[in-house]
Structure 1
Amino acid sequence: MGDAEFTALWQDWKRERERNLADPLGWLALVSLDWLTERPTAYHGLPGLWWQDEEAAYVDPDGGALSHDGELIVGVKRFELVNSGAGTRVRIGEVEVELARRSGYLVRVHDPAAEAVRGFRGVPSYEPDPAWVLRGVYEPFDEPQPTTVGAVVAGLSHVYTAPGVVRFSRDGVEHTLTAFNGKAGGFSILFTDETSGVTTYAANRSLAVADPDADGGVVLDFNRATNLPCAFTTYATCPLPPEGNRLSFAVEAGEKTPLEALAH
């Protein structure tokens, strides 16, 4: 593949990435985050009462027009979610209220009228460079390992399943990164490096890696290293990289610190 084709493919990827970020009900649309308690509570002028117990979250529409999966909520609705897993959303007019479990349950309001959505100007990035496409080898563990990592929110932790590690070399030095399962196959690698807190977001970046080939070979294209939601909003609870996933060199590739993070 020539440099021109490589750059064109990266630009296509970047446009799609930024289109997804600009989703009017995406991460940039977050305007609040609250942790539920055992007391039914109304939040931020939203209709309904929200609370939790040790197992689940609950909402009572309390006369409001709330819907879930296209169906009007009538009476108290129970949501039992996986810790550190995907959330679910309740629709109220033009906004969506996300319920998620992060040890306890939280509610986050996604508002398409949020200032961050209206003012989004893209993500600063390094120029694409084929030199940052590296080859590695995936080595599975005998058994997937539950791995606890910290979070950008003090006192919070996440537990993910690590199926194995990826090994690769740069400038004759071998590096090993713990891999988590990707959302749509393959792996997700959380990492920091010598640019973190300098030109890139301090807490973390993420690299999606496709499934290995028959010999365990994988491709690490650091040009496509992305920021996690916490780089764009203070209402995210993103995980920190697992122990050992700090690279000892500067990965001058992929997304830089977002304008949104520089502003707060």
Structure 2
Amino acid sequence: MTAQAEETGRTTFTEEWEQWHARHEEALADPHGFLAVTSLRWLDATPTRFPDAPGAWSSTDAGVVVDLDEGEELTLDGQVLRGRHDFGVVAERGGLFPAAGDAVIEIAKRGGHDILRPRHPENELRLAFTGTPAYAPDPRWAVTGRYLPFDAPRPTTVGAAVEGLQHVYDAPGEVEFELDGTTHRLTAFNGHAPGSLLVLFTDATSGVTTYAANRSLSLPAPDAEGSVPVDFNRASNLPCAYTDLATCPLPPAGNRLPVAIEAGEKIPSGR
């Protein structure tokens, strides 16, 4: 490869990373993104009112219920909700987002518990957000890995950013890759897109220049031979890096790399 071609390739690599990072920042700072969360409420059988959400909320065997007073309403999928409304049982890691004026009220289940997480665009954390510091993109940290599927998905219990909470994920396999002549393996979970993977990890930079609890890396679906790109320049923070109102999972025990991955997002400003 000529020096000019190498420089062109590096410029393209940097531009693509900048576009990815801009999209990630935009989603984080969305009017109803995680920076807009104003509280984390753990629901129980007692109907309870909260200052940042209309109605009295409770968790029952039949699911989450809200009792709205006269003059209070929510909107879900174009339907206006008034009085008493039963949202039904929310799936683990699922969620509903009824609107309340310019806010949305997230209804979710985490670790088997029903929660409420109001999201208000005017939240101070969102308004003060100026971006996430990150290492400069470097092709050194973009390698080709190999997906090693398990014979059957393995239920994997991990801790959470909230003390005492646990998450259980089905791990379909591991991703093996090499850095500076050393081979590493990380347990992978299923990603959002069909066939894609999600890796949660820490490394020697964790708690120093990067967020201590975890970072995540989304991987595309491996090809027919199991080859998969592993680009640590796209290692990103989970919501718990920005707010204590998140319930993010922690990495599996084996996903603690002994090397310093000096790539991807760093500790958010102010944290």
TM-score band, normalised by shorter chain: over 0.9
**1:228-243 alignment runs, 5 A limit:** 228-243=238-253
**1:16-55 alignment runs, 5 A limit:** 16-44=23-51, 46-54=53-61
* Shift in CA distance, 259/91, structure 1 to aligned 2, threshold 3 Å: same
Specify the alignment match of 1:67 in structure 2: 75
Query: What is the aligned-residue RMSD (CA, Å)?
Result: 1.3
1:213-247 superposed Cα distances (whole Å, 9 cap, x missing partner): 11101110000000000011111000000110000
Specify the alignment match of 2:4 in structure 1: none
Specify the alignment match of 2:176 in structure 1: 167
The runs of 5 or more residues in structure 2 that have no matched partner are 1-7
**1:95-244 alignment runs, 5 A limit:** 95-102=103-110, 103-185=112-194, 186-244=196-254
Task: Kindly state the Cα deviation for residue 55 of structure 1 after the two structures are TM-superposed.
Answer: 5.3
Which residue identity does 2:130 align to in structure 1? R
The runs of 5 or more residues in structure 1 that have no matched partner are none
Residue 255 (str. 1) matches residue 265 (str. 2): yes
Specify the alignment match of 2:5 in structure 1: none
d(CA) in 2 for partners of 1:145, 1:82 = 20
d(CA) in 2 for partners of 1:46, 1:12 = 35
8 A contact 2:52–2:118 mirrored in 1:
no
Q: Find the residue that maps to 1:116 and give its secondary structure.
A: helix
Percent of residue pairs bearing the same amino acid type: 49
Which residue identity does 1:7 align to in structure 2? T
Task: Kindly state the Cα deviation for residue 54 of structure 1 after the two structures are TM-superposed.
Answer: 4.2
d(CA) in 2 for partners of 1:42, 1:252 = 45
d(CA) in 1 for partners of 2:62, 2:233 = 41
Q: Find the residue that maps to 1:6 and give its secondary structure.
A: helix
Which residue identity does 1:180 align to in structure 2? F
Q: Find the residue that maps to 1:235 and give its secondary structure.
A: coil
| Stretch of structure 1 that moved more, 181-190 or 60-69 | 60-69
TM-score (norm 2): 0.93
TM-score (norm 1): 0.95
Alignment partner of 1:246 out of 240, 256, 268: 256
d(CA) in 2 for partners of 1:238, 1:198 = 20
d(CA) in 2 for partners of 1:197, 1:188 = 21
8 A contact 2:161–2:249 mirrored in 1:
yes
8 A contact 2:38–2:52 mirrored in 1:
no
| Stretch of structure 1 that moved more, 62-71 or 234-243 | 62-71
| Stretch of structure 1 that moved more, 40-49 or 102-111 | 40-49
Aligned residues: 260
